Amino acid sequence: MTAPVIRFRGVGLTYPGPPPVTALHPADLTVAPGEYLTVVGPSGSGKSSLLNVAGLLDRPTEGGYELDGIDVGALRESARTALRGRRIGFVFQSFHLLPYRTATENVALAQLYAAVPRRRRLAAARDALDRVGLAHRRDALPITLSGGERQRVAIARALVHEPSLLLCDEPTGNLDSATAGTVLDLLDALHAAGITLVVITHDPAVAARGARTVTIRDGVLSDD
Ligand SMILES: Nc1ncnc2c1ncn2[C@@H]1O[C@H](COP(=O)(O)OP(=O)(O)OP(=O)(O)O)[C@@H](O)[C@H]1O
Ligand SMILES: [Mg+2]
Protein backbone atom coordinates (compact mmCIF):
# COMPACT_ATOMS: atom_id res chain seq x y z
CA MET A 1 0.00 0.00 0.00
CA THR A 2 1.24 3.50 -0.78
CA ALA A 3 1.71 5.90 2.11
CA PRO A 4 -0.81 8.70 2.67
CA VAL A 5 0.19 11.98 1.08
CA ILE A 6 -0.52 13.74 4.38
CA ARG A 7 -0.42 12.11 7.78
CA PHE A 8 -0.75 14.39 10.80
CA ARG A 9 -0.41 12.78 14.19
CA GLY A 10 -1.43 15.24 16.86
CA VAL A 11 -0.18 18.16 14.78
CA GLY A 12 -0.66 21.52 16.45
CA LEU A 13 0.62 25.03 15.85
CA THR A 14 0.96 27.78 18.42
CA TYR A 15 2.43 31.09 17.30
CA PRO A 16 4.81 32.26 19.99
CA GLY A 17 3.43 35.79 20.32
CA PRO A 18 3.30 37.45 22.81
CA PRO A 19 0.62 36.60 23.48
CA PRO A 20 0.84 33.04 22.13
CA VAL A 21 -1.95 32.12 19.68
CA THR A 22 -2.94 28.49 19.20
CA ALA A 23 -3.94 28.54 15.54
CA LEU A 24 -4.24 24.77 15.33
CA HIS A 25 -5.07 22.49 18.25
CA PRO A 26 -3.44 19.04 18.07
CA ALA A 27 -5.22 17.06 15.36
CA ASP A 28 -4.94 13.89 13.34
CA LEU A 29 -5.52 14.11 9.62
CA THR A 30 -4.86 11.65 6.83
CA VAL A 31 -5.13 12.44 3.14
CA ALA A 32 -4.74 9.49 0.77
CA PRO A 33 -3.19 9.70 -2.70
CA GLY A 34 -5.75 11.02 -5.17
CA GLU A 35 -8.10 12.42 -2.52
CA TYR A 36 -9.86 15.76 -2.94
CA LEU A 37 -10.18 17.26 0.53
CA THR A 38 -11.74 20.60 1.26
CA VAL A 39 -11.18 22.47 4.53
CA VAL A 40 -13.88 24.93 5.50
CA GLY A 41 -14.03 27.40 8.35
CA PRO A 42 -14.58 31.06 9.14
CA SER A 43 -11.96 33.79 8.97
CA GLY A 44 -9.27 33.34 11.60
CA SER A 45 -10.18 29.71 12.26
CA GLY A 46 -6.73 28.38 11.31
CA LYS A 47 -7.17 27.35 7.67
CA SER A 48 -4.03 29.03 6.33
CA SER A 49 -2.07 27.85 9.36
CA LEU A 50 -3.07 24.29 8.51
CA LEU A 51 -2.08 24.80 4.88
CA ASN A 52 1.26 26.32 5.85
CA VAL A 53 2.08 23.32 8.01
CA ALA A 54 0.92 20.84 5.35
CA GLY A 55 2.96 22.74 2.75
CA LEU A 56 6.15 22.75 4.86
CA LEU A 57 6.09 26.54 5.10
CA ASP A 58 5.71 26.32 8.88
CA ARG A 59 6.84 23.69 11.36
CA PRO A 60 4.18 22.42 13.74
CA THR A 61 4.89 23.13 17.40
CA GLU A 62 3.37 19.77 18.35
CA GLY A 63 2.98 16.33 16.84
CA GLY A 64 4.43 14.53 13.83
CA TYR A 65 3.92 15.00 10.12
CA GLU A 66 4.65 12.49 7.40
CA LEU A 67 4.44 13.68 3.81
CA ASP A 68 4.39 10.81 1.30
CA GLY A 69 5.66 8.60 4.12
CA ILE A 70 8.58 10.89 4.92
CA ASP A 71 8.88 12.12 8.51
CA VAL A 72 9.40 15.78 7.71
CA GLY A 73 9.92 16.80 11.34
CA ALA A 74 13.30 15.10 11.21
CA LEU A 75 14.46 17.03 8.16
CA ARG A 76 16.66 20.09 8.10
CA GLU A 77 15.41 23.26 6.49
CA SER A 78 17.30 22.69 3.22
CA ALA A 79 15.82 19.20 2.86
CA ARG A 80 12.34 20.51 3.63
CA THR A 81 12.73 23.18 0.97
CA ALA A 82 13.86 20.61 -1.59
CA LEU A 83 10.97 18.30 -0.71
CA ARG A 84 8.50 21.16 -0.91
CA GLY A 85 9.80 22.11 -4.35
CA ARG A 86 9.43 18.59 -5.69
CA ARG A 87 6.19 17.44 -4.11
CA ILE A 88 3.99 20.43 -3.40
CA GLY A 89 2.28 23.00 -5.59
CA PHE A 90 0.66 26.10 -4.09
CA VAL A 91 -2.23 28.18 -5.36
CA PHE A 92 -3.21 31.34 -3.50
CA GLN A 93 -6.16 33.69 -3.57
CA SER A 94 -4.15 36.52 -5.14
CA PHE A 95 -2.41 34.64 -7.99
CA HIS A 96 1.11 36.06 -7.27
CA LEU A 97 2.10 36.41 -10.93
CA LEU A 98 4.99 38.60 -12.07
CA PRO A 99 3.38 41.46 -14.03
CA TYR A 100 6.04 41.96 -16.72
CA ARG A 101 6.45 38.29 -17.59
CA THR A 102 4.28 36.34 -20.01
CA ALA A 103 2.15 33.44 -18.87
CA THR A 104 4.81 31.01 -20.14
CA GLU A 105 7.62 32.86 -18.34
CA ASN A 106 5.64 32.98 -15.10
CA VAL A 107 5.19 29.23 -15.21
CA ALA A 108 8.78 28.59 -16.33
CA LEU A 109 10.20 30.68 -13.50
CA ALA A 110 8.78 28.21 -10.99
CA GLN A 111 11.45 25.75 -12.13
CA LEU A 112 14.43 28.08 -11.74
CA TYR A 113 15.62 26.23 -8.67
CA ALA A 114 15.34 22.85 -10.29
CA ALA A 115 18.47 23.30 -12.45
CA VAL A 116 16.51 22.54 -15.60
CA PRO A 117 17.84 24.10 -18.82
CA ARG A 118 15.81 27.07 -20.09
CA ARG A 119 14.51 25.33 -23.21
CA ARG A 120 13.15 22.44 -21.17
CA ARG A 121 11.63 24.84 -18.64
CA LEU A 122 9.79 26.70 -21.39
CA ALA A 123 8.57 23.46 -22.95
CA ALA A 124 7.29 22.22 -19.59
CA ALA A 125 5.62 25.60 -18.99
CA ARG A 126 3.84 25.37 -22.33
CA ASP A 127 2.64 21.85 -21.51
CA ALA A 128 1.32 23.02 -18.13
CA LEU A 129 -0.52 25.95 -19.74
CA ASP A 130 -1.99 23.54 -22.25
CA ARG A 131 -3.24 21.43 -19.37
CA VAL A 132 -5.15 24.35 -17.84
CA GLY A 133 -6.65 25.33 -21.21
CA LEU A 134 -4.48 28.37 -21.85
CA ALA A 135 -2.32 27.29 -24.79
CA HIS A 136 -3.74 30.20 -26.81
CA ARG A 137 -2.73 32.76 -24.14
CA ARG A 138 0.79 31.57 -23.46
CA ASP A 139 2.43 34.84 -24.60
CA ALA A 140 -0.02 37.10 -22.76
CA LEU A 141 1.00 39.36 -19.88
CA PRO A 142 -1.03 38.90 -16.68
CA ILE A 143 -2.63 42.35 -17.01
CA THR A 144 -4.27 41.28 -20.26
CA LEU A 145 -5.70 38.11 -18.71
CA SER A 146 -9.02 37.75 -16.89
CA GLY A 147 -9.01 36.84 -13.20
CA GLY A 148 -9.91 33.25 -13.97
CA GLU A 149 -7.16 33.01 -16.59
CA ARG A 150 -4.63 34.43 -14.13
CA GLN A 151 -5.60 31.82 -11.60
CA ARG A 152 -5.24 29.13 -14.25
CA VAL A 153 -1.70 30.40 -14.97
CA ALA A 154 -1.01 30.13 -11.23
CA ILE A 155 -2.36 26.58 -11.27
CA ALA A 156 -0.15 25.75 -14.27
CA ARG A 157 2.81 27.13 -12.33
CA ALA A 158 1.91 24.90 -9.37
CA LEU A 159 1.62 21.86 -11.65
CA VAL A 160 4.80 22.29 -13.63
CA HIS A 161 6.89 20.21 -11.20
CA GLU A 162 4.26 17.46 -11.24
CA PRO A 163 3.69 17.71 -7.50
CA SER A 164 2.05 14.90 -5.58
CA LEU A 165 0.00 17.45 -3.63
CA LEU A 166 -1.72 20.63 -4.73
CA LEU A 167 -2.56 23.01 -1.87
CA CYS A 168 -5.00 25.80 -2.64
CA ASP A 169 -5.78 28.63 -0.21
CA GLU A 170 -9.06 30.33 -1.20
CA PRO A 171 -8.34 29.75 -4.90
CA THR A 172 -11.60 31.43 -5.93
CA GLY A 173 -11.59 34.18 -3.31
CA ASN A 174 -10.90 36.95 -5.84
CA LEU A 175 -13.18 35.63 -8.58
CA ASP A 176 -16.83 36.21 -9.39
CA SER A 177 -18.96 33.10 -9.12
CA ALA A 178 -19.07 32.29 -12.86
CA THR A 179 -15.27 32.57 -13.14
CA ALA A 180 -14.85 30.65 -9.90
CA GLY A 181 -16.85 27.87 -11.53
CA THR A 182 -14.33 27.50 -14.36
CA VAL A 183 -11.45 27.29 -11.88
CA LEU A 184 -13.33 24.72 -9.79
CA ASP A 185 -14.06 22.71 -12.95
CA LEU A 186 -10.33 22.70 -13.64
CA LEU A 187 -9.63 21.43 -10.12
CA ASP A 188 -12.22 18.67 -10.71
CA ALA A 189 -10.39 17.70 -13.90
CA LEU A 190 -7.04 17.60 -12.09
CA HIS A 191 -8.58 15.44 -9.39
CA ALA A 192 -9.95 13.10 -12.06
CA ALA A 193 -6.41 12.92 -13.48
CA GLY A 194 -5.15 11.66 -10.12
CA ILE A 195 -3.74 14.73 -8.37
CA THR A 196 -4.16 14.96 -4.60
CA LEU A 197 -5.94 18.19 -3.74
CA VAL A 198 -6.45 20.12 -0.52
CA VAL A 199 -8.59 23.21 -1.04
CA ILE A 200 -9.15 25.71 1.72
CA THR A 201 -12.19 27.94 1.67
CA HIS A 202 -14.72 29.78 3.79
CA ASP A 203 -17.32 29.18 1.08
CA PRO A 204 -19.57 26.12 1.63
CA ALA A 205 -20.30 25.95 -2.13
CA VAL A 206 -16.57 25.57 -2.85
CA ALA A 207 -16.21 23.09 -0.01
CA ALA A 208 -18.97 20.96 -1.51
CA ARG A 209 -16.80 20.31 -4.59
CA GLY A 210 -14.45 18.13 -2.58
CA ALA A 211 -15.02 14.44 -2.10
CA ARG A 212 -14.47 14.94 1.62
CA THR A 213 -14.72 18.04 3.80
CA VAL A 214 -13.21 18.80 7.19
CA THR A 215 -14.28 21.77 9.24
CA ILE A 216 -12.02 23.98 11.31
CA ARG A 217 -13.35 26.29 13.97
CA ASP A 218 -11.20 28.18 16.48
CA GLY A 219 -8.28 25.96 15.50
CA VAL A 220 -10.19 22.73 16.15
CA LEU A 221 -10.33 20.35 13.22
CA SER A 222 -13.28 17.99 12.83
CA ASP A 223 -13.95 15.42 10.14
CA ASP A 224 -17.51 15.78 8.78
N1 LIG B 1 2.24 34.79 12.29
C2 LIG B 1 1.27 34.80 13.21
N3 LIG B 1 1.51 35.17 14.50
C4 LIG B 1 0.54 35.17 15.42
N5 LIG B 1 -0.74 34.81 15.18
C6 LIG B 1 -1.05 34.44 13.91
C7 LIG B 1 -0.08 34.43 12.87
N8 LIG B 1 -0.69 34.02 11.72
C9 LIG B 1 -1.99 33.80 12.06
N10 LIG B 1 -2.21 34.05 13.37
C11 LIG B 1 -3.48 33.88 14.11
O12 LIG B 1 -3.83 32.50 14.04
C13 LIG B 1 -5.21 32.34 13.86
C14 LIG B 1 -5.48 31.54 12.59
O15 LIG B 1 -5.06 32.32 11.48
P16 LIG B 1 -5.18 31.78 9.97
O17 LIG B 1 -4.47 32.73 9.10
O18 LIG B 1 -4.74 30.36 9.94
O19 LIG B 1 -6.77 31.86 9.75
P20 LIG B 1 -7.63 31.60 8.42
O21 LIG B 1 -8.66 30.59 8.78
O22 LIG B 1 -6.73 31.30 7.27
O23 LIG B 1 -8.35 33.00 8.20
P24 LIG B 1 -8.78 33.76 6.84
O25 LIG B 1 -10.00 33.02 6.33
O26 LIG B 1 -9.10 35.14 7.28
O27 LIG B 1 -7.63 33.69 5.89
C28 LIG B 1 -5.81 33.75 13.85
O29 LIG B 1 -6.25 34.02 15.15
C30 LIG B 1 -4.63 34.61 13.46
O31 LIG B 1 -4.78 35.90 14.01
MG1 LIG C 1 -6.32 32.29 5.46
On whether residue 1 sits in a domain, the answer given is: no
Residue 172 inside a domain? The answer is: yes
Q: What is the pLDDT of residue 129?
A: 96
> Which bound ligand lies closest to the C-alpha atom of 203?
1
What is the Å distance from ligand 2's center to 195 Cα?
22
| pLDDT the model gives residue 35 | 97
User: Does the structure show a pLDDT above 70 at 207?
Assistant: yes
- 153 is a domain residue: yes
Query: Which pLDDT band, with edges at 50, 70 and 90, does 150 fall under?
Result: very high
Q: Residue 199 sits in which domain range? A: 6-223
Does residue 107 lie within any of the structural domains? Answer: yes
Q: Is residue 120 part of a domain?
A: yes
Number of domains in the chain: 1
Residue 149 lies in a domain: yes
Confidence band of 2 (pLDDT split at 50, 70, 90)? confident
Q: What tens digit of pLDDT does each residue of 171-192 get? A: 999 888 888 999 999 999 999 9
Q: What is the DSSP letter of 211?
A: S
Burial of residue 180 (number of CB atoms within 10 Å: 0-12, 13-18, 19+): buried
**156 to each of 104, 111, 220, how far by Cα in Å?**
9, 12, 32
The answer to whether the beta carbons of residues 196 and 31 sit under 8 Å apart is yes
User: pLDDT of 9-64, one tens digit each?
Assistant: 999 999 998 999 999 999 999 999 999 999 999 999 999 999 999 999 999 999 99
Residue 165 lies in a domain: yes
**DSSP letter, residue 144:** G
Residue of 21, 174, 221 to mutate, ligand 1, most atoms within 8 A of C-beta? 21
Rounded Cα–Cα distance for residues 152 and 171 (Å): 10
- Given a cut of 80, whether residue 134 has pLDDT beyond it is yes
Which pTM does this prediction carry?
0.93
**Is there a domain that residue 125 lies in?**
yes
Q: What is the pLDDT of residue 224?
A: 65
CATH (domain of 93): 3.40.50.300
Position 115 scores a pLDDT of: 76
User: Rounded to a whole number, what is the largest CA-CA distance in the chain?
Assistant: 51
| Atom number, ligand 1, closest to the C-alpha of residue 202 | 25
Q: pLDDT for 65-123, tens place per residue? A: 999 999 999 999 999 999 998 899 999 988 899 999 999 999 998 877 667 888 999 99
Instruction: Compute the average pLDDT of residues 194-217.
Output: 94
Ligand 1 center to residue 100 CA distance, Å?
31
